[in-house]
Amino acid sequence: MAARGSAVCRLGSFAVKPGGRLFSQSQSVAAACTAEQLAEKIRAQKQQKTPKQEVPKDPVLRRVQELVQLTQQLQRVHPNVLAKALKQGILYQNKEIVVINKPYGLPVHGGPGVKICITDVLPILAKMLDGMNAKPLHLCHRLDKETTGVMVLARDQDTADRIHHFFRTRQVEKKYWAICIGEPESPDGLVNIPIMEKEVESHQSHFKMTVAPNYRVSHEDGKMFKIRQHRDAQKAVTRYRILSSASSCSLLELQPVTGVKHQLRVHLAYGLGCPILGDHKYSHWSKLAPQDLSICNVGGLLLF
């Protein structure tokens, strides 16, 4: 008896191939069933249409949905597609530099769970701008994955070195906008508190940056006294200004004078008591957990 799709004769509980080899019928049937089941599963997955997400009527929620979708798409696109998207977001360019608008959710460097990043597509972007013989562009600084904003790329190593020097010597003025929970007591000011990395000992043991102030307040009489600076503490200075506030949130303009790791997040959360909205790491000290804040509380703030 010929089997489907192959010249195989079956004898009893065994099948004989044209070459004369025997193999168990039960094994072949099991394999066939498995293959049929797999084929059906693949067909079902292809036929299954992903339900369309309902578009929110609220413009704030609609923008949030767009950003989330963009983040997911950027991790799945081909490098050429990402390079083209960065090219469309160019803000300025000349013979020395290219200034791009870094999208939300796109990492600058690779790492665990990162499928594609900006450094991966710099050679492709350079060729799109200057032809196939173009040299790769050079990163001059970095931004966090969740941060959007201006990024400067250099066309050659000498230019990149000069711009690196400008950043190191604080000749570049950087400003950030951040939505924070709560509102600082003063409408503007300077946070000058050293920062250091410390291990958090809890059920979720982890490391995070924290403030290491030079002064403390006595619990007995309420007087301020100076303490010895920790040897691992780094000087950290941040200027801030309230741009707008509504309900339980505020929009701050931040200007880092120094460049310590996670400086803005730490100064806002532990210096001013106003953590950045969505910052699960620095909203609490002893745990890593999302903030408990309804999106409706920031609706009026984003539409100013």
- Give the pTM: 0.62
pLDDT in tens, 160-207: 999 999 988 888 888 999 999 999 999 999 999 999 998 888 777 778
Q: Is-catalytic flag, 130?
A: no
Give the pLDDT band of residue 294 (cuts 50, 70, 90): low
The residues with which 206 forms a beta bridge, in sequence order, are: 200
pLDDT band at 11 (very low <50, low <70, confident <90, very high): very low
Say which DSSP state 186 is in. S
Is the pLDDT reported for residue 304 higher than 50? no
Are 242 and 187 a contacting pair, CB within 8 Å?
A: yes
- For position 33, what pLDDT does the model report? 62
Q: Which of 58, 144, 158, 232 is catalytic?
A: 144
pLDDT at 13: 44
Quick check: 155 pLDDT over 50? yes
pLDDT at residue number 26 = 52
pLDDT greater than 80 at residue 34: no
Would the pLDDT of 5 be above 70?
A: no
Q: What percent of the chain has pLDDT over 90?
A: 40
Residue range 197-217, pLDDT digits in tens: 988 887 777 789 999 988 877
**Spatial CB neighbours of 160, under 8 Å, sequence gap ≥ 6:** 138, 139, 140, 154
Q: Can you read off the two tokens belonging to residue 55?
A: 């578009």
User: Quick one: 200 exposed, middle or buried, by C-beta within 10 A (0-12, 13-18, 19+)?
Assistant: middle
pLDDT computed for residue 27 by the predictor: 52
User: What 3-state class would DSSP assign to 283?
Assistant: coil
CB atoms within 10 A of CB 220: 6
Distance, CA of 230 to CA of 224 (rounded, Å): 18
The pLDDT assigned to 241 comes to: 97
Helices (H) and strands (E) in the chain, counts: 7, 15
Residue whose token pair is 């010929």: 2
More confident residue, 283 or 152: 152
Judging by DSSP bridges, how do beta strands 14-16 and 22-24 pair with one another? antiparallel
44 token code pair: 């079902």
